[in-house]
Structures are given as structure tokens and as C-alpha cells.
Amino acid sequence: MAQDDDLIRRVERRTADYIGCIDDDALERWPAFFTVDGLYRIISRENYARGLPASFLYCRGRGMMHDRITALRQANIYEPHVYRHLVSGTRLSREEPEGGWRLHTNFQVIRTMHTGEMVVFAVGFFDDVLVERAGTLLFQEKTVVCDSSRIDTLLVIPI
């Protein structure tokens, strides 16, 4: 019980750093939150529930994540905008048979455009598998499950 609480607390802090990294536009540091072969994907709640693999975004491994950030920095053809994450309610789902822990955390992302317009961009939960490597918690998997199956085409920045 106290052990679970320590773990949840550590994951909360790790999540705080994770959302800080994105919201501060320090995206070059984003892949380092994952294991070398870590999985990152964004999927709709509907597909998640049905076990369908179709995702809005899919990255396997830090290399693919770095490529994505590089493309984002170079292309730069999208309208400038920033994200602000709010997260809540980290809860332990289960220990993973192959090691690590699965936890869920609710999230909300507010997007602010260059014009100053603010909009609820995405809500849902993180379905995370974390492992410990050299005393640091890393995401072995991060599945961003979005409540809405209609996502804005302007999905450039990771959530």
C-alpha cells in the first residue's frame, strides 16, 4: 500500500516533467522519457476499447521520435500554437508480467493559437507502462487514449 503510493507519487512527478517538457516546447528532450525501443501512440477510445491498432500517431523507438521532432522543426508549415496539459488521478492498473507497471492518468490539453484563441484540444487518459532503468522511470509504452474519435488534423506536437 505504502509501496504503491511511492510508485504512484514517482509516476506523478515523472508525468509532471513530461508535460513540462512538451508545454515548454523542449521537444528535443521528449524521446529521452522513453526506453530506447519504447512505444508512443495516440489512439481513439473507441479503437482502444475494441483492440483495433489504428492510431492517429505511432512511434516505435527513440529514433522515430527524434525524426518526428526534426520534421516538426524543419517543416514549420503549420500555424504556430502551444499546448498546456492538465493531468489528474494517476492510478495503478497492474504490474506487468514482463516487468514494470501499468498506470492510468487522465489528461486534458488546451491549445492556444497565435491569435490568442484557446480551445480544448484533447481529453482522455494516458495508458502507460513504466520501467525502471538506472534509477529512472522510463516509458516502455505510452498510449494516449483520446475520448474523441474526431481529432483535429493539426496534430503535430506530441501529447
**Interacting residues toward a copy of itself by CB under 8 A:** 5, 8-9, 13, 15-17, 19-20, 23, 45, 82, 84-91, 104, 106, 108, 110, 112, 115-120, 123-125, 147-150
Q: How far is the CB of 92 from a copy of itself (least distance, A)?
A: 9
Collapse the DSSP code of 28 into the 3-class scheme (helix H, G, I; strand E, B; otherwise coil) and give the result. Answer: helix
- The nearer residue to a copy of itself, 66 or 111, going by C-beta atoms, is 111
Which residues, in sequence order, are bridge partners of residue 131? 138
Sheet holding 57-60, edge to edge: 57-60, 34-44, 136-146, 118-133, 101-113, 81-95
Q: How far is the CB of 133 from a copy of itself (least distance, A)?
A: 16
- The nearer residue to a copy of itself, 77 or 114, going by C-beta atoms, is 114
The residues near 28 (Cβ < 8 Å, ≥ 6 apart) are: 69
